[in-house]
Amino acid sequence: MHFDAFDRYHDTESFIHRLDPRAKVVVTVAFILSNALLPDGAWIGFGLSLLFLLFVTALSNLGITFTLRRSFVAFPFALVAITVLFSIPGNPITSFRFLMWDLTITDAGLLRFVSIVIRSWLSVQMAILLVATARFPDIVHALEHLRVPMILTTIIAFLYRYLFVLADEVFRLLRAREARSAAAAGSRSGGSVAWRAGVAGNMAGQLFLRSYERSDRVYNAMLARGYTGHLQTMNPHELHRTDYATMAFSILFFLLLQLAGRL
């Protein structure tokens, strides 16, 4: 299977890697919640969040720009909030006509949009850092320890497990198509666009059937090996004083950050 297709864990030695996964999950969730609670335009609060993120990234020994380079994938999703530019009442900045609508960008709408983009950008970077410093089974195990409903952790665990099955079947189908698409030198293989669309449709159907059958075999194999609804991990989870101190320091910092963001 192509584990590197989805697994973003970076195995290295650092203070962040040595922390218990529960501590990392708690700090990550608290960081995201803190950003969500900051009022619009809380530039001091956003700046302190960025400093905290850079500090944690430096402690992880992954490079200060590790999360920054991977965070731009979140910007297209943040554009979903672009409608707040026109829907929030405020002083008009500029107006223009788009198709049949007259749109006006207000100062309050622009402030809300920029704040949403910054919140999303910071939160995505912290989530990237969590995935890079904790193995996925350990994260699921930590969620179980933190009393997250088992139905949710089971769905997350199986979704992650079957992504590899789906990716593996996709690679097999693509390899089989390439093996059957030989062409003479200088000529193009395949047929018309309609023919290619038909082939793609057949591949999608085969992908569903083969993935379904294989995932069923995987689940039966898990049951035969003693699976009881809980993911087992080889890494013992034990909270130490360092973990408690890290969580306490982080939550205290987020509380001060909330106060600074409202000054």
Using one digit for the tens of pLDDT, what is the confidence trace for 206-228? 888 887 888 788 888 888 888 77
228 burial level (CB within 10 Å; 0-12, 13-18, 19+): exposed
Question: For a pLDDT cut of 90, what percent of the chain falls above it?
Answer: 27
* pTM for this prediction: 0.77
CA distance 69 to 75: 12
106 C-beta neighbours (distance < 10 Å), count: 20
pLDDT at 25 over 90: yes
Amino acid 7: pLDDT? 61
Using one digit for the tens of pLDDT, what is the confidence trace for 116-165? 999 999 999 999 899 899 888 888 888 888 888 888 888 888 887 777 77
